[in-house]
Structure 1
Amino acid sequence: MSTQITVTVLPASTKAGEETIRALLALALLNSDTKLSIKAIYRDPSKAPAGFTSLPENKFSAVKGDVGDLSTLDFTDSNVVFYIPPPTYDGTDTEKWAHLTAKNIKTALNSAAGGKVKKLVLFSAIGAQHPDGIGILKLNHITDAILTGGEDVEVHEKVVIRPGYFVEGFASFLEEALGPTASISSWLTPLDYRAPVVSVKDIASTCAKEILKPFSPSGITSPRYIKIFGPRHYSAQDLHQAISTALDRKDIKLNPVSPEHLAEYFGQVLPEQYVQEFVDMTTAVLPGGVMADDFGYDDVDENHVVVRGETALVDAIRVVYEGLLRKEEGRKGAAN
């Protein structure tokens, strides 16, 4: 007997959203008993990948919507909602944005409560349980509290995904290594200090499996929390080695960015308003930070699970490098 399931993903333009959609489609192909329909919400549906929009509408539909605008959110026909809280760098206060967007999602979920929504899968972050000292991750702390902290969100099952750092987030290390200085400036210090780093492929695989997992019976402990780490934790030295291997280079230097220079480091790429939030998030991860004790693979109980990813660091770095090459080719093509 086949099972029909409709999944809403928002914002679908995020890396986690896009890759989870890809993983969902792959899993549905392997399971003929699952009839999957994906409703992907974009601010601009024309930005949806062609590989998705070429699918039949009953399998994938790109819908215009904005988590900042409640009137555009409709979960009435959804069985599962997968929400990835998006940061904003347009000058909006992070805490105000977190409250606005989370309350919009909560209202939309409750408006659909008489319908089919059975499960909320909420994308969060490692360390988001801490109320203070986590910088930009307060977006996730506030969102988690509003959507899973009480009984007033009328969804039976809630799953909170807390991955480590995306390997893809270290693309700037690759770009710097490919640049004229042939070096990497690492905020992850000391250089031999290891933190959880995981590929988006492993993150998306876990998210997709949780989304498609059969709905749990009443009485289940909810929310459930799932941490996602890589095969092991990695240091800046490990990242340096993986990048050197992926590029087949032996001349790349590795330079530490000490905590007192983090503001200058992030100030080169971020609006001034958000620099301190990134400094605080980074120092929270480093030795002595509030998140430094959150990295155990054995931190499990009845409602806390740790998933160990399978993708090796060097393999994930190669994928990031290939993505950078495609972007560069696209820029050259556009210029011509």
Structure 2
Amino acid sequence: MARPFKQSPATRPSRPSTPDLPPQRLHKLLALAGLGSRRDMEELIASGRVTINGEVAQVGAAVTPNDVVKLDRRILRLPFEAELPRVLLYHKPEGEIVSQDDPEKRATVFDKLPRVRGRWVAIGRLDINTSGLLIFTTSGDLANHFMHPRYEVEREYAVRLMGELTEGQMLQLKEGIELEDGLAGFDNIQDKGGEGANHWYEVSLREGRNREVRRMFEAIGLMVSRLMRVRFGPISLPSRLKRGQMLELPPQEVAELLEWAGLPVARAQQRTQKEKESLGKTFRPKERKPESRAKTLAAPAAKTTDRKPPARKVPAAKRRVTGENLAPPAQQKRSDRNRGRG
């Protein structure tokens, strides 16, 4: 009998070699992974829940691709090589709130967002009675450039008023009105006409305080009957994007947006053919069941020890038969009925 060939033991596939990348700040990588802002990640590290190679991480620590970083014993995949972020446009209707955790359990736009590695960040907010352009991105740095007051990114709104502005009121709104949280004014006001008691205006400003547009008109005695954001920075609400619809910007437009913000342009993410074909096309999202969106950052729940003991199995011979245990016999199968017939 021939001697069989000696089989070599199965070897595990080797890990792909990582380039010699310089160490990077841990809180920065956690933010790039979509777990939150850099400030949130510093607080997360300070809580002691993040470890590096088994040791509790310290604020300001740096890591390399060879380090093992865990959050609550779960290994994290950190983006040492930056990828092009994703940008999603949504035509928000009235009646939805822009919040990830609403105590009143109302409809929120985050229930409709497609799943993504990391998390979506809303660029600015719209109150429940305001509709129009809402931008989401996976880049905290890009969102910060849109929202931080020092960048003075312009917002443009279409406003329907119960009444018509006088020249004096328009001048007053441009020069500034003193609100409870400081002086506020429009950069531009354009009359867009109207019929009856309703009149449309187009206004623009370079900040986004809570209900600022509504409060400015209320301060001069006019009520806003409808408010719609039509532009935020270089992004305008596309005419083909109907209310309640979304579209994702293609990589070329995302790269142009990063250049506008002065941010580095990274390589595009690898996508399936179906994902590539859907870029730039409008779609109506399917609403998911509300879930704990802060699951990743939430502290793990304490284990309870008051468990009920498992039920003791009773032998069939000693089992007491009651009326509840008497179930009707199962329906006889057709093959059983025909069995034995000629």
Provide the TM-score with structure 2 as the length reference.
0.22
Which is higher, the Rg of structure 1 or of structure 2?
Answer: 2
More helix by share: 1
Provide the TM-score with structure 1 as the length reference.
0.22
